[in-house]
Amino acid sequence: MTTTRGGHPSEDHVPDLSPFSSPAPLGAGAPPESSGGSGGTAEAGNSVSAADGGRPGRRLSTMMVAGLAALGLGIAVGTLPVPYVIESPGPTYNTLGDSQGHPVINVSGHETYPAAGSLDLTTVYVDGGPTGSVSILNAFSAWLDNSKAVYPEELIYPTGTTKQEAQEQSAVAMATSQENAVASALNELKIPFGQQAQAAGLSKDSASAGKIQQGDVLKSINGKDITSLAVIQDELAAGKGAPVSVTVERDGQPVTLKVTPKDNGQGRFILGVMLKYLFSFPFQVQISLDKVGGPSAGLMFSLGIIDTVTPGDLTGGKHIAGTGTISPDGAVGPIGGIGQKMRGARSSGASLFLAPAGNCDEVAGHIPDGLQVVRVENLAEARHAVELAGSGQDTSALPACTGK
């Protein structure tokens, strides 16, 4: 998750480009000395005495001007923007608590239960990128700070991304993570709900171009009902590039299409369709959290929902934090800023941290003192870890990140 500082969604950018004035240039020299004799002939004694008395002042002036010029140049260079992004620890939010006077998770239409512990989602501050700039001094200072990370801008934002695009992408990712969190929590609790996959768009050179259209609802593939993305992936993998029969619902009518999958260059066959899920839940879950965007709070939202709608206290009053994206079927995905999130979690008082398995290489060797990090691949593993900690049992045998 990325958080807002200074009124800029997902980033904190305070431009550091104050203008400065260079010192006035040194004059051509001292005023001409007046001659002490007649007939235009200067007296040698007077001439030498005047010159000796003037040099120290001119030298001092020259040194002062040079020093001011060097200082001005240093300031100018130090405030020049550079194409880097700085990540630093952000605040944590208890998904079982309140934010700005409102419950982070509010459930209506289903019985809820109070919880005494904390299931914190973690965030990072992001400086730089489309909404602002990072100076050379900022980047160098962050590079020397173990609590921060510095990355080339293109690793975080695609080239050409505008401020509006970055904000919209962050908001969409947050909304999607919330829906996925509800779906994954209900799946984990075996509570049935409606789910459909809709074509949100086609990738470049899509295998489905001219066949599947944006807005189509995918109903079946080779006669198998599409209840999750895994059904599509399994059928394409089994076919090894052979044409598949896809039935979609278009304008309320079924349409059956033949599509030949394409190899994505990594040994996987794909339809080239970007999907979004349409859910129909049996009760309403509203998640309220201002000035926070991105997809990485999905796992902690899922755990918060589970604790809210089930009897007892999942955490046993413990302070637990974590991060990770979540899919409707409960798979936990990697995120950015894991090092900063662990630091933020420990600073807020957490003693147990849930980390995506996909981030383990970044976790190993960077765990703050006093924080146990548990490696999780799915929601079921994360729930088990929280329940074990909450019951007061020994958690030392839980999976850990050991790196490569």
> Would the pTM count as exceeding 0.85?
no
Using one digit for the tens of pLDDT, what is the confidence trace for 188-207? 999 999 999 999 888 888 99
Exposed/middle/buried for residue 93 (C-beta within 10 Å: 0-12, 13-18, 19+) = buried
Return the sign of the alpha-carbon dihedral for residues 72, 132, 14, 340.
negative
Kindly write down the DSSP assignment for every residue of 311-332, as one continuous string. Answer: SS-TTTT-EEEE--EE-TT-BE
CATH of the domain at 98: 3.30.230
Angle subtended at Cα 187 by Cα 181 and Cα 191, rounded to the nearest 5 degrees: 115
Using one digit for the tens of pLDDT, what is the confidence trace for 382-393? 999 999 999 999
* Lowest-pLDDT range of 27-31, 94-98, 184-188, 254-258: 27-31
287 and 276 inside one domain: no
CA 138 from centroid of its chain's CA atoms: 19
Q: Does the residue 6 lie in any domain?
A: yes
Using one digit for the tens of pLDDT, what is the confidence trace for 36-50? 443 443 333 343 333
Provide the pLDDT confidence category of residue 145 given band limits of 50, 70 and 90: confident
Q: Does the residue 375 lie in any domain?
A: yes
Domain-ending residue, one of 280, 295, 320? 280
Checking if the pLDDT of 343 tops 60, the result is yes
107 and 171 inside one domain: yes
E strand spans, 133-242: 134-135, 149-152, 194-202, 217-221, 224-225
Q: Does the residue 151 lie in any domain?
A: yes
On whether the CB atoms of residues 220 and 246 are closer than 8 A, the answer is yes
262 and 168 inside one domain: no
Checking if the pLDDT of 8 tops 80, the result is no
Structurally, the chain folds into a number of domains equal to 2
Checking if the pLDDT of 31 tops 70, the result is no
325 and 261 inside one domain: no
291 and 180 inside one domain: yes
290 and 364 inside one domain: yes
Average pLDDT, the chain: 84
89 and 157 inside one domain: yes
Domain-ending residue, one of 280, 295, 330? 280
CATH of the domain at 217: 2.30.42.10
On whether the CB atoms of residues 26 and 148 are closer than 8 A, the answer is no
293 and 388 inside one domain: yes
Q: Does the residue 360 lie in any domain?
A: yes
Mean pLDDT of 213-236: 93
The pLDDT of residue 40 is 40
Question: Measured between alpha carbons, how far is 377 from 358 in angstroms, rounded to an integer?
Answer: 8
Provide the pLDDT confidence category of residue 72 given band limits of 50, 70 and 90: low
Which two tokens mark 66? 């040079």
Q: How many helices and strands (H and E) does the chain possess? A: 9, 24
Q: Does the residue 173 lie in any domain?
A: yes
164 and 242 inside one domain: no
The pLDDT of residue 165 is 84
Mean pLDDT of 67-82: 63
183 and 291 inside one domain: yes
**Stronger pLDDT, 174 or 143, i.e. the higher one:** 174
Domain-ending residue, one of 252, 280, 308? 280
The pLDDT of residue 354 is 99
Checking if the pLDDT of 319 tops 80, the result is yes
Checking if the pLDDT of 362 tops 90, the result is yes
Q: Does the residue 28 lie in any domain?
A: no
398 and 295 inside one domain: yes
* Lowest-pLDDT range of 9-13, 91-95, 299-303: 9-13
Provide the pLDDT confidence category of residue 160 given band limits of 50, 70 and 90: confident
Mean pLDDT of 343-372: 96
Say what percent of the chain tops pLDDT 70: 80
Domain that holds residue 399: 1-15+85-193+282-404
The pLDDT of residue 356 is 98
**Stronger pLDDT, 57 or 347, i.e. the higher one:** 347
Q: Does the residue 61 lie in any domain?
A: no
Q: Does the residue 315 lie in any domain?
A: yes
* Lowest-pLDDT range of 4-8, 152-156, 259-263, 358-362: 4-8
Question: Measured between alpha carbons, how far is 225 from 227 in angstroms, rounded to an integer?
Answer: 6
Checking if the pLDDT of 11 tops 70, the result is no
- Helix, strand or coil, per DSSP, at residue 241: coil
233 and 353 inside one domain: no
